[in-house]
Amino acid sequence: MKKKILAYLLILFPIFSLGLVKADTEKTKYVIASDSSFAPFVFQDSSNQYTGIDMDLIKAIAEDQGFEIEITNPGFDAAINAVQSGQADGIIAGMSVTDARKETFDFSDSYYTANTILGVKESSTISSYEDLNGKTVGVKNGTASQTFLNENQSKYGYKIKTFSDAASMYDSLNTGSIDAVMDDEPVIKYSISQGQKLKTPIAGTPIGETAFAVKKGSNPELLEKFNKGLANLKANGEFQKILDKYLASDSTTTTSTADETTIWGLLKNNYKQLLNGLGITLALALVSFAIAIFIGIIFGMFSVSPYKSLRLISEIFVDVIRGIPLMILAAFIFWGIPNFIESLTGQQSPINDFVAGTIALSLNSAAYIAEIVRGGIKAVPVGQMEASRSLGISYGKTMRKIVLPQATKLMLPNFVNQFVIALKDTTIVSAIGLVELFQTGKIIIARNYQSFKMYAILAVFYLVIITLLTRLAKRLEKRIQ
Ligand code: ASN
C-alpha cells in the first residue's frame, strides 16, 4: 500500500510541478505600465479615465488574445523602472524603439512612427536649433527626446532641464522658466490642436518606431500575444478605427473638460479623485506613523540602554536612515530591492507601491522618533534613576514607573510635530508613482494645465487636514498631560 502511494506521488509530482512552472511563466493577468500624460497615446478623459491610442490598443489586444490586464499610469520614467524591476510585465507609452533600449527591452512589432520635435510658445522668436544657444530646453526624463537633446547639446549650446512628468514640463514652458520643450511630434501637435498656445518652428527628427515592450528575456509569450493581436486588429480594421478616433481631424476625443477653468469647476469635476488621493495620503501617514512609533520607541530605548551594543545598533540605525533622503529610500525599496532580488534568484518579486511607500516613511519617521525618545529620556534628571536604583528597584521598573512617565510628557509635542512632517512627506513618496493626493493633483494638471488653481486647492487640502489633525493631537496631548 505504502509503495503504491509512493508510486502515485512519484508520477504526480512531476505533473504537478510542470503545472506550477507553467502557471508561473504563463500568466493570465498582466500588469501594464504606461505614461501618466502623453496625449493622444495616453491621457485622462473628462471622467478621469485613462484613454488614448495606447490604452484602447492594449485593451483591444488583451480582448482579442484572451488575457486580462491591469494598467498603471505612473509616468514614463517610472513605467520604465517598473518594467525593469518586475513591478510591471510590459510598457505601452508611445515608447520609441531605440538601439540603446534594445539592450534592456524586447520590443513588439511597431504600431506607429514618431519624430521628436521642438515646441516653443507662440510668441517665441526661436526658429532654429542655433537660436537655442544659452536657452533652456525641457524634456521628460528617460525619453528618446532626452537622448536627442543630450547628443546635440555641445553642438547647439542649450541647457537641459529634465522633468518627471509632462504636466510640470509644459507648466514650466507656459510660465517661462524654460524656453522650449522637446517631445514626440504627435504629442505636441495634439496639444496644439487642443488649444495649447505652442508652435513647432523646426521640422521633427525621427526617433524610431513606436512599440510595446517587455523586459529583455521576460514574458516572451506576452510579446507574442501582442504581435498576434496587433496583426488581427490591423487586418480587421479595428486598429485604424482606434487611430482615427484620436487622430482624425474631426476627432471628438479631447483632453480638456467642459469647465475646468474655475476652482469650483475643478472641484466639481475632480472631487472623487481628490478624495481618493486624500484617503491614500491619510492611510500612508497614519499606518506609517503607527509603525514608526513602534520601531522608534524600540531604537530610542536602545539608545539609552546600559548595554553598549544596543546603543551602537540604535546609533547606526538613526545615522543610516537620517543620512538617506526619503525619496532615495523609497526608490531603493520600490525599484532597487526587487531588481536586486531578481538578479540573484531570477524570479521577479515586485513590491506593491503602497507597501514600499509605507516602509520608507515608517523607517524615516522611526529614526526621528528614536531621537525624540532619547531626548525625552535624557531630559529626566539622572539623579532620579540613581536614587531609584540605590533603593534596590530594577532598571526596567525605574524606567517604566519613574523615567518614562515624565519623559513621555516631554516627548508628546515632538510626536505631534513629527506626525505633521510625516504627513507632508507623503508627497515625496509620490515619486515612485503612488497616486496619493499630490500625484492626483499633478495628473489633473496634466489634463487641464490649471496649475495655479490646482496647486492652491492642494495646498488648502493639506492645510485643512493638518490643522484638524494637530488640533486633535493637541487635545489628546492635554488629556494625557
Ligand atoms: N516617445 C517617448 C520615448 O520613447 C515616450 C514617452 O515620452 N512617453 O522616449
pLDDT in tens, 343-362: 888 877 788 889 999 999 99
**Helices and strands in the chain, H and E counts:** 19, 11
Across the range 295-305, mean pLDDT stands at 96
Distance CA 25, CA 28 (A): 10
CA of 35: how far to CAs of 68, 95, 225, 443, 469, in Å? 19, 9, 22, 11, 34
Distance CA 245, CA 386 (A): 80
Q: Report residue 80: phi and psi, to 5°.
A: -60, -45
Query: Contacts by 122-128 with C-beta closer than 8 Å and gap 24+?
Result: 122/197, 122/198, 122/199, 124/179, 124/180, 124/199, 124/201, 126/179, 126/180, 126/201, 127/201, 127/202, 128/201, 128/202
- The pLDDT-based confidence of 479 (bands split at 50, 70, 90) is confident
Distance CA 329, CA 357 (A): 9
User: Ligand 1: which of 41, 83, 104, 140 to mutate, most ligand atoms within 8 Å of CB?
Assistant: 140
DSSP secondary structure letters along 43-79: EE-TTS-EESHHHHHHHHHHHHHT-EEEEE---HHHH
Across the range 387-410, mean pLDDT stands at 91
Q: What percent of the chain has pLDDT over 90?
A: 69
Beta bridge partners, 43, equal 51
CB of 143 sitting under 6 A from ligand 1: yes
The atom of ligand 1 lying closest to the CA of 38 is 8
Distance in angstroms between the alpha carbons of the first and the last residue of the chain: 72
The atom of ligand 1 lying closest to the CA of 76 is 8
Q: Which residue has the cell 538601439?
A: 99
User: Ligand 1: which of 58, 83, 96 to mutate, most ligand atoms within 8 Å of CB?
Assistant: 96
What is the pairing mode between strands 136-140 and 180-184? parallel
Q: Determine contact, residues 118/200, Cβ cutoff 8 Å.
A: yes
Quote the mean pLDDT of the chain.
89
CB of 399 sitting under 6 A from ligand 1: no
Rounded CA Rg of the chain: 27
Identify which of 227, 271, 282, 280 has the alpha carbon closest to the alpha carbon of residue 109: 227
Residue 3: what pLDDT? 54
CB of 140 sitting under 6 A from ligand 1: yes
Distance CA 182, CA 173 (A): 11
Q: For 335-349, 361-375, 422-436, which range has the lowest pLDDT when averaged over its residues? A: 335-349
- Classified as helix, coil or strand, 140 is strand
Q: For 1-5, 153-157, 270-274, 458-462, which range has the lowest pLDDT when averaged over its residues? A: 1-5
What is the pairing mode between strands 68-72 and 50-51? unpaired
Q: Determine contact, residues 178/138, Cβ cutoff 8 Å.
A: yes
Q: Whose CA is nearest to atom 9 of ligand 1?
A: 143
Q: Report residue 208: phi and psi, to 5°.
A: 120, 180
Instruction: Kindly state the cell numbers that stand for 243.
Output: 487611430
Q: Which residue has the cell 469647465?
A: 259
What is the pairing mode between strands 90-91 and 205-215? antiparallel
In b/e form, how buried is each residue of 71-107, taking b as 16+ CB within 10 angstroms? Answer: bbbbbbbbbbbbbbbbbbbbbbbbbbbbeebeeebbb
Amino acid identity, residue 175? T
Residue 314: what pLDDT? 97
Residue 104: what pLDDT? 95
Q: Is the predicted pLDDT of residue 8 greater than 50, yes or no?
A: no
Distance CA 60, CA 62 (A): 5
CB of 96 sitting under 6 A from ligand 1: yes
The atom of ligand 1 lying closest to the CA of 98 is 4
CB of 50 sitting under 6 A from ligand 1: no
Q: Is the predicted pLDDT of residue 131 greater than 90, yes or no?
A: yes
Residue 137: what pLDDT? 97
Q: Determine contact, residues 226/212, Cβ cutoff 8 Å.
A: yes
Q: Is the predicted pLDDT of residue 328 greater than 50, yes or no?
A: yes
Residue 359: what pLDDT? 97
Vertex 416 angle, CA 414 and 417, to 5°: 60
Instruction: Give the alpha-carbon dihedral of 109, 433, 333, 163, to 10 degrees.
Output: 80
Rounded distance from Cα 40 to ligand 1 centre (Å): 12
